[in-house]
Amino acid sequence: MTDPAGALLGPAEVRALAAELGLRPTKTLGQNFVIDPNTVRRIVRVSGVGPGDVVVEVGPGLGSLTLGLLEAGARVLAVEVDPALAGRLARTVRERAGRRAADRLTVLPADALRVTELPEDPAALVANLPYNVSVPVLLHLLASFPSIQRALVMVQLEVAQRLAAEPGSRVYGVPSAKARWFGEVRQAGLVGRSVFWPVPNVDSGLVGLVRTAPPRGDVTREEVFAVIDAAFAQRRKMLRSALAGWAGGAARAAEVLVAAGLQPTLRGEALGIADFAAVAAAGRTIAR
């Protein structure tokens, strides 16, 4: 029988699988594979995933985190854009964790940015996201699958800091505000470079999200995101100027901001998600 405790991939196993596939990790696909089982178990532990949970994982690669999620008893929907990696993953799980674990794995050869349907409703998203598309993938999946109630993703540390930033922070911006439309966001830990192969030239961080209800129900996500995009397109400008194109002029933007209970001289980094939603609602009302 396979020993589940020894199922996770270490440096030798990762390199052997890569050699078998003739794989040379590419920056284009953001491929950096975790080679440290302790890091994998830490991610799974922090995610809170347990037996029976349906988890969507993006970019499973050679299977490091996939094996950890299966070890915890989860059902895993693994979305992998690389055909060679997608084709090898189920066999890797069977060989290292056994048939029962493999029965809890569904591999979806697809681009995560284009996935709009899954065979099951996932309750969680846990992933080492490709760094070059991490924020778009996170926001797309949260928007497309309301069943996702919590997420834990590993991203470039700078991106983790932006996602978790609070209004008024130097790094607060579009990712920070948009992520908060979906829920409460927090930094959940640091990940060193040495646990990856190849070793990246940046540090990594974990970001956790717990879904909450949108700040208000009289505006859509698309309407609020349009305000966020406009507010940060010219970051150093006051909102009455930054929102001029969106509102149809600086005077109209100032009118909308006052109606939303905000000073027109504020800048975008001062607003929380409830404020952006209030601006979108006021803009809709005044447009009538």
Q: pLDDT digits over 84-135, tens only?
A: 999 999 999 999 999 999 999 999 999 999 999 999 999 999 999 988 899 9
Q: Are residues 239 and 193 in the same domain?
A: no
**Are 178 and 236 found together in one domain?**
no
- Any residues with CB less than 8 A from the CB of 89 and at least 6 apart, and which? 60, 62, 63, 66, 78, 80, 105, 107
pLDDT profile of the chain (288 residues), mean per 10 = 64 95 72 92 98 97 97 98 96 97 98 97 96 95 98 97 97 98 97 91 95 96 98 93 96 97 97 98 82
Residues forming a β-bridge with 196:
34
Judge if 238 and 207 occupy the same domain: no
By residue range, what is the domain housing residue 241? 221-287
227 and 139 in a common domain: no
| Residues 141 and 70 occupy one common structural domain | yes
Same domain? 266 vs 124: no
3-state secondary structure at position 211: strand
Phi, psi of 194, deg, nearest 5:
-70, -10
Q: How many CA within 13 A on the CB side of residue 233?
A: 14
Cα 8 from Cα 67, distance rounded (Å): 6
Q: Are residues 45 and 169 in the same domain?
A: yes
Q: What pLDDT sits at residue 286?
A: 80
Round to whole Å and give the CA distance between 284 and 279.
9
Same domain membership, residue 120 and residue 30:
yes
In degrees, to the nearest 5, what angle opens at C-alpha 166 toward C-alphas 161 and 171? 45
Identify whether 216 is part of a domain. Answer: no
Angstrom CA distances, 98 to 1, 85, 222, stand at 8, 19, 44
What is the number of alpha carbons within 13 Å of residue 89 lying toward its C-beta? 31
pLDDT confidence of residue 200 = 86
Structure tokens at 254: 């100032």
Q: Which residues pair with 197 in a beta bridge?
A: 33
In the chain, the amino acid numbered 16 is A
CB 263 within 8 A of CB 238: no
Is there a single domain that holds both residue 252 and residue 230? yes
Structure tokens, 171: 């790094």
pLDDT digits (tens, 9 = 90+) for 63-82: 999 999 999 999 999 999 99
Nearest alpha carbon to residue 72 among 57, 82, 88, 87 = 57
Rounded distance, CA 173 to CA 158, Å?
12
Given 166, 181, 211, the domain boundary residue is: 211
> Is position 257 within any domain?
yes
* CATH code at position 170: 3.40.50.150
Q: Report how far residue 174's alpha carbon sits from residue 269's, in angstroms, rounded to the nearest whole number.
A: 9
Split into its structural domains, the chain has a count of 2
pTM: 0.93
Are 5 and 38 spatial neighbours (Cβ–Cβ below 8 Å)? no
- With CA atoms as reference, report the closest residue to 142 among 125, 162, 129, 157: 125
Q: Quick one: 65 and 143 in the same domain?
A: yes
Position 44 scores a pLDDT of: 98
Among 169, 192, 211, residue at a domain's last position: 211
Q: Judge contact between 79 and 57, C-beta under 8 A.
A: yes
Q: Which of 193, 211, 229 is the last residue of a domain?
A: 211
- What is the structure's pLDDT at 4? 42
